[in-house]
Chain A
Amino acid sequence: MMRIPLSALIGLFFTGLFFLSAIFAPWIAPYDPSAIIGDFWEPISWEHWLGTDNIGRDLLSRMIYGGRTTIFVAAAATVISFTLGTTLAFSAVVIGGWVDMVLSRFIDLIMSIPTLIFALVVLSVVPVTIPVLILVMGLLDLTRVFRLARAVSVDINVMDYVEAAKLRGEKTMWIVFREILPNALSPLVAELGLRFIFMVLFVSTLSFLGLGVQPPDADWGGIVKENKEGLIYGIPAAIVPGIAIAILAISVNLIADWVLSRTASLKGGRNG
């Protein structure tokens, strides 16, 4: 029987809560997120659990829909960076030679420019839409996944069973997906969580800078941008998305920690 530690349970609970509210946003949100239903920056009340925003929309409804956008963009970008990053890295290792060399050096080059700066340079010419945003974030973050996946698979690639598969005459793709991937999965799953958090922070930062999700839609970063003027007058609406981001990030971190420690103990004693 598998025992889940308390910290991981807390993480799973909150992560689940965020994902469920993202999926079921239209049913949960008490108001239309773009309808003006009151005065601007109304305080917390029974009608509006989190008050209203800078032009009188219900903040809770906007937070639920905003979380939907944030989680969707972050998850989609993570999927891109993961599938491409791991496939490229495993192929590079299995093929080896100059393919590995060229790919690794190119990844080093992209990583030599800070991700945010690179994203800003790219976003200065392309139209900022959600698919473009997902693609840019996914491609830029692929470098980190490539590095990790390459480091993990280099060790696996020299194992006897991979050697045996190669001698059997298996194709590169077969070796990548049937031999390397299953054995590299556990460290990669833990990394998946961390990449997802990074994507959440990344898209929030871009939206906050006005270069991410464009109005009238808003993700959590956009909600901060909309409500930042209120802070000067002592209205904490802009801090609400921050709390949501922090709770989501910490919960996913707790799960990643648990996955990592489980795989570590698995290696320690397989029979235990």
Chain B
Amino acid sequence: MIKLVIQRLALGCLLLLAASALIFFGIEILPGDAAQAVLGRSATAEALANLRAEMGLGRPAIVRYFEWLGGVVRGDLGVALTNGVDITSALADRFSKTLFLAFWAALISVPLAIFLGLLAVRFRDRWPDKMISAITLTLISVPEFIVGYVIMFFVAVKWQLLNPLSIVTANMGVFERLEAILLPVLVLTFVVLAQMMRMTRAAILNVMESAYIETAELKGLSRFEIIARHAFPNSIAPVVNVVMLNMAYLIVGVVVVEVVFNYPGMGQYLVDHVTKRDVPVVQAAGLIFAAVYILFNMFADIISILANPRLRHPK
């Protein structure tokens, strides 16, 4: 089992490396020119040449890739083209803000999704199940930003319960900050909850339909014993998988939600610099988002290896 886990860890690292190469060379081979993109069409040839030299675009891409990668490993992400600010320090602050937002959204949505999933399985094909699936189907059919605006429109504007924009400043206490991020957290929760609940329901139903559950029923075990001794241990791996997969959705959701609520996190920073065509910042932020996504997927795999007794005690 340890061998499997180590294999998965190694694969994760390899994937990270490959993803970094993809992000770097992906931009290289595309027909756009980073210097042209920053300066726009009306730039003079001289200005272009200067900027190209400054960005080191004259040297081979492979050399620049390893320089960039070396910098990333040392925690140096370079400087932004547009304003010359050090990317690492700019990102660090925003990353912590995004984490703060994502952490609370996860804390609320994970238990709620599992609870609702269980509820839907318990009352399968009856009204609670049908109602939950109708609502979640609607939620996943709407883009994240619409969910955001609908909630903002009603909660903040029509009923005046909360401030529509989330302004978080350095000297705010924990509770003030929580109040400020309540709306984005609510939206993120809804977005992730719908997916996670649907997948949890499917995962648990899959377990409940197994032959050993039927055996346990026929054996005369009580409903509680069946769930506690047979269904629950077998559901851990799929449910953890579902949760981790949806944490990955959360990463994408956070980008959009931050833009909706003007929340000064990583996502807003990324979108802002894509518009400004600031390639170093986009590469850095893109790499961090990809890394978090890859790590979540790796954890999901490792936990399902650990939760599977057949892999835990190999013959």
Contacts and interface: CB of A to CB of B under 8 A. Distances in A.
Interface of A: 108-110, 112-118, 120-127, 197, 201, 204-205, 208-211, 221, 224, 228, 231-234, 236, 238-239, 241-242, 245-246, 249-250, 253
B32 A245 contact: no
Q: Majority SS of interface residues in chain B?
A: helix
Contact of B145 (A120, A197, A205): A205
A228 B156 CA distance: 14
B283 interface: yes
A124 B153 contact: no
Given A125-B279, A126-B32, A245 B142 contact: yes
Interface of B: 15, 18-19, 22-23, 26-27, 30-34, 37, 137-138, 141-146, 149-150, 152-153, 157-158, 164, 248, 251-252, 255-256, 259, 270-271, 273-275, 277-279, 282-283, 286, 289-290, 293-294, 297
B228 to A, nearest CB: 33
16 contacts: A112-B15, A113-B23, A113-B286, A116-B252, A117-B252, A117-B286, A117-B289, A121-B27, A121-B283, A125-B37, A125-B279, A232-B164, A239-B146, A239-B149, A242-B143, A245-B141
Given A112-B297, A245-B143, A126 B164 contact: no
Contact of A114 (B15, B31, B252, B274): B252
B286 A231 contact: no
Contacts of A113: 19, 22-23, 286, 289-290, 293
Given A126-B30, A246-B138, A205 B15 contact: no
A74 to B, nearest CB: 12
Contacts of A208: 143, 145, 256, 259
Give 4 closest A-B pairs by Cβ, nearest first.
A242-B146, A249-B141, A125-B32, A124-B282
A245 B141 CA distance: 8
Contacts of B149: 224, 228, 231, 238-239, 242
Given A228-B149, A232-B164, 14 more contacts: A112-B18, A113-B22, A120-B274, A121-B26, A121-B274, A121-B282, A124-B282, A205-B144, A208-B256, A210-B271, A211-B271, A221-B145, A242-B149, A246-B142
Nearest to A203: B143
Contacts of A234: 153, 157-158
A186 to B, nearest CB: 21
A127 B142 contact: no
A211 B274 contact: yes
Contact of B275 (A210, A231, A238, A242): A210
A205 B256 CA distance: 8
A197 B143 CA distance: 10
A227 to B, nearest CB: 9
A242 B31 contact: no
Contacts of B19: 109, 112-113
Contacts of A238: 149, 153
B22 to A, nearest CB: 6
A208 B260 CA distance: 9
Contacts of B282: 120-121, 124
A224 B248 CA distance: 25
Of the candidates A118, A122, A125, the one having the most CB atoms from chain B within 10 angstroms of its own CB is: A125
Contacts of B144: 205
Given A109-B22, A205-B145, A231 B157 contact: yes
B290 A114 contact: yes
Contacts of B256: 116, 205, 208-209
A122 to B, nearest CB: 7
A201 B293 CA distance: 21
B12 to A, nearest CB: 9
Contacts of A118: 26, 286
Contacts of B37: 124-125
A204 B143 contact: yes
Contacts of A233: 157
A250 B144 CA distance: 15
B279 A114 contact: no
Nearest to A247: B141
A113 B294 CA distance: 7
Nearest to B277: A124
A26 B191 CA distance: 36
B155 to A, nearest CB: 11
A253 B137 contact: yes
Nearest to B276: A124
Nearest to A125: B32
A114 B293 contact: yes
Nearest to A110: B22
Of the candidates B30, B138, B143, the one having the most CB atoms from chain A within 10 angstroms of its own CB is: B143
B119 to A, nearest CB: 22
Contact of A124 (B22, B252, B279): B279
A70 to B, nearest CB: 11
Contacts of A210: 271, 275
Contacts of B15: 108-109, 112
B271 A209 contact: yes
B55 to A, nearest CB: 13
